[in-house]
């Protein structure tokens, strides 16, 4: 009976250890005031060594590109497109059959916004992204964000 209990305990520990969630991309969010009503919103991805995430402009047929959506806020207007600041790597990916655009280590997605009036408010939304290494790709994940504009 003790042997059976030991085997069961060993199996449970093994399964729990193996099924830990892999999260190679850590997000941080901040804002930078440019003038009285203009801000940069920074959505920064820190990427674990050996992993990468994809550009917003990765072509169809390839991995899931990063997609950033902003929640409507009547006090805020979105100015232009989200910029990608980081070392973009481009190469042909035989698995997908397309040229992919990816980032390793770190990428900063920057959106300029304007606040109407002088109210303190926030910019919120979601980021959908996919992470891969040389052996596997994780399913796309969605991260919510909220950044105070002060």
34 or 13: which leads in pLDDT? 34
The enclosing H or E element of 4 equals: helix 2-18
Mean pLDDT in residue range 113-142:
94
d(CA 29, CA 54): 18
Mean pLDDT in residue range 108-114:
98
CB 142, CB 126: distance < 8 Å = yes
d(CA 107, CA 129): 12
Predicted confidence (pLDDT) per residue in 52-64, tens digit: 999 999 998 899 9
Task: Name the pTM for this structure.
Answer: 0.84
**How large a percentage of the chain has pLDDT more than 70?**
87
Predicted confidence (pLDDT) per residue in 97-108, tens digit: 899 999 999 999
d(CA 27, CA 106): 10
Task: Report all structural domains of the chain as residue ranges with CATH numbers, in order of start.
Answer: 23-149 (2.60.40.1250)
Q: Say yes or no to pLDDT of 127 above 60.
A: yes
Tell me, what's the pLDDT at 139? 96
Predicted confidence (pLDDT) per residue in 15-25, tens digit: 433 445 789 99
Tell me, what's the pLDDT at 115? 96
Tell me, what's the pLDDT at 117? 85
Predicted confidence (pLDDT) per residue in 39-48, tens digit: 999 999 999 9
Q: Say yes or no to pLDDT of 84 above 60.
A: yes
Q: Say yes or no to pLDDT of 7 above 60.
A: no
């Amino acid at each position: 009976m003790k042997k059976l209990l030991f085997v069961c305990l060993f199996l449970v520990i093994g399964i729990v250890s193996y099924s830990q969630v892999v999260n190679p991309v850590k997000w941080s969010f901040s804002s930078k005031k440019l003038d009285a009503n203009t801000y940069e919103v920074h959505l920064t991805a820190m990427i674990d060594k050996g992993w990468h995430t994809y550009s917003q402009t990765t072509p169809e047929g390839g991995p899931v590109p990063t997609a950033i959506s902003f929640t409507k806020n009547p006090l805020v207007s979105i100015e232009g497109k989200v910029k990608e600041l980081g070392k973009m790597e481009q190469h042909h990916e035989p698995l997908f059959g397309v040229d992919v655009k990816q980032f390793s280590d770190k990428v900063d997605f920057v959106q300029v916004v304007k606040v109407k009036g002088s109210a303190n408010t926030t910019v919120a939304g979601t980021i959908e992204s996919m992470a891969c290494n040389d052996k596997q790709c994780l399913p796309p994940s969605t991260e919510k964000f909220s950044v105070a504009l002060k």
